[in-house]
Amino acid sequence: MQIFKFMVPEIIFGKGTLRLIGESARRLGATKVFMVSDEGVARAGWIDQAVQHLKDVGLEYQVWTEPTPNPKDYEVEHGKELYLEGGCDAIIGLGGGSAIDAAKAVAILATNGGKIQDYEGVDKIEKPLPPLICVATTAGAGGEVTQFTIVVDSKRKVKMTIGSKSLVPDIAIIDPLLLSTIDAVLTANTGMDALTHAIEAYVSVAATPITDVLAYRAIQMISSSLRASVASRTNMEAKISMAMASLLAGIAMSNAILGAVHAMAHPLGGLLNLPHGEANAILLPHVMRFNLIACTERYAEIAQAMGEKVEGLSTREAAEKAIEAVERLCSDIGAKRHLSEFGLQEEHIWELSRVAAEDVSLITNPRDATVEQIAEIYRAAL
Ligand SMILES: [Fe+2]
């Protein structure tokens, strides 16, 4: 058995648990909270509710909604200035992947100083972060439970991955009610992000028996509830199932890490600002086809988890069923299928492939990939 460690925050799960945000912050010793969120979350009314819960327990607060999708270095540096000027002593990330990534990046800079680029890579954070609570408003990104944050270097146009045990939040709150204000497109995209986390974690070279059970169950739950969650904002059973599946997939990928889909999606976000979930959904079947020879048995298991009939099939045939099942899910939920729909052209492919080949997520991909092979996968997804 390989040596591994397993990291997870305190998790509070369930309908209506947003109301525990105030007492959670107090428990961590907060007196003035810096809340990182975005305009969409504000419009949905969740910031007002969260702020009320902070007021109820006598906490001061400052709300910051500047971060954009794929948060940028200059945004998080501005956030850090506001945090320090405001005399805050704890951070809450309330949002989807971008707001939570921005909250974590502000937390790094608040106590460690310097530029966010200084922390690119693994284990570069030396000083403890302020108390950090993350509340997910989407079911997919997983940042509320992971040891990672991703920030765009605006000069290099590269998504930097920062990994450290310090980035595991102190408390993660997952309230499925928050999913009821998300439209079908975002539900589909974030759901495909969660499925990608689960599949990449399941076939990762760093997978462990602990991450396997989490990833496998996440694949089962997403396969059986994502369609229903996309179909209706008010199907609370589907929302609860997706919230749990996203949580399981997030913990699995935080500990087993990712693979070529994320390595290739990151430069699409950095260079072309493509939404993360959409990039994953397009790339996932193509990367699965590339990885097939490295993890045929695992794909056959994924086919079973996705509800495919595999009796009587060879392992190879069953593995191919997993790829077909992913494609059918993408098509049922209306996910985009071609990178050209986002303006990607042949001329972009070499630069994207060069950056993807250097992405840390590639290290745990089950099949080694050269720049040329990565370029072929992008080309197939055009
Ligand atoms: Fe992701």
- How far, in Å, from the CA of 281 to the mean position of ligand 1? 10
Residue 359 one-letter amino acid: D
- How far, in Å, from the CA of 277 to the mean position of ligand 1? 7
- How far, in Å, from the CA of 255 to the mean position of ligand 1? 14
* Residues less than 5 Å from ion ligand 1, measured at CB: 193
- How far, in Å, from the CA of 279 to the mean position of ligand 1? 9
- How far, in Å, from the CA of 97 to the mean position of ligand 1? 8
- Integer-rounded Cα Rg, in Å, for the chain is 20
| pLDDT at residue 366 tops 70 | yes
Sign, CA dihedral 367-371-376-380, equals positive
Domains of the chain: 10-178 (3.40.50.1970), 183-381 (1.20.1090.10)
H-assigned helices in 86-235: 97-112, 184-203, 209-231
* Residues 6+ away with beta carbon under 8 Å from 329: 192, 195, 223, 226, 227, 306
Q: Diameter of the chain by CA atoms?
A: 66
pLDDT of residue 270: 86
- How far, in Å, from the CA of 262 to the mean position of ligand 1? 6
| pLDDT at residue 1 tops 60 | no
| pLDDT at residue 256 tops 60 | yes
- How far, in Å, from the CA of 154 to the mean position of ligand 1? 20
Structure tokens, 133: 């609570």
pLDDT of residue 2: 76
| pLDDT at residue 273 tops 90 | no
- How far, in Å, from the CA of 30 to the mean position of ligand 1? 30
d(CA 230, CA 334) in angstroms, rounded, equals 9
- How far, in Å, from the CA of 200 to the mean position of ligand 1? 10
With a pLDDT cut of 70, the percent of the chain lying above it is 100
* pLDDT tens digits for range 201-216: 999 999 999 999 999 9
* pLDDT tens digits for range 31-43: 999 999 999 999 9
- How far, in Å, from the CA of 294 to the mean position of ligand 1? 22
DSSP 19: G
Which residues lie across from 60 on neighbouring strands? 32
* pLDDT tens digits for range 276-307: 999 999 999 999 999 999 999 999 999 999 99
